[in-house]
Amino acid sequence: MFLSVDATLIVQVVNFIVFLLVLNVVFTRPVGAAIAKRRAYINSLSADTEQAEADLKALHAQAEGKRAAARREAADLLVKARGAAHDEAAALAAGAASRASAIVAAAQQTVAAELAEARTKEDDIVATLSRTLLERALDPGAAA
């Protein structure tokens, strides 16, 4: 009884095949197409994301390279500026030392000239001073 084939079994098998065909046309194909379309969209987004990340890494590397070049250039400029400042300071110090030695030499000449003049007038000053002291010593009332 279990294995007997009758008309209801054939109708049920045909009904099932029709159901599968309708199900395939109405549901499976549209859903499969939507899934495939969605998968393609996700894959394109994934590729775009990977490309953007690669571009970002390249831009970061480029920016870091520019920063490093700018740092090197700034360091070179700083070294040059320090060298120029050092040279200028040395030139200023040499000029100041030259002016100072000129002032010292002029002062020494002035002192030497004044000393020579004082030595030439020394006898006259001593004579005048000694006369004045002698006059005061001899005439104590005239000093007041």
For the stretch 26-64, pLDDT in tens is 999 999 999 999 999 999 999 999 999 999 999 999 999
- Percent of residues, the chain, with pLDDT higher than 70: 94
Report how far apart, in Å, the C-alpha atoms of 14 and of each of 11, 97, 105 are: 5, 120, 132
Same domain, 71 and 103: no
The domain in which residue 110 lies consists of: 97-144
Same domain, 32 and 69: yes
Could you tell me the pTM of the whole model? 0.46
Tokens 């020394």 belong to residue? 122
- 9-18, 34-43, 111-120: the lowest-pLDDT one: 111-120
Domain contains 20: no
Distance in angstroms (rounded) separating the CA atoms of residues 133 and 143: 10
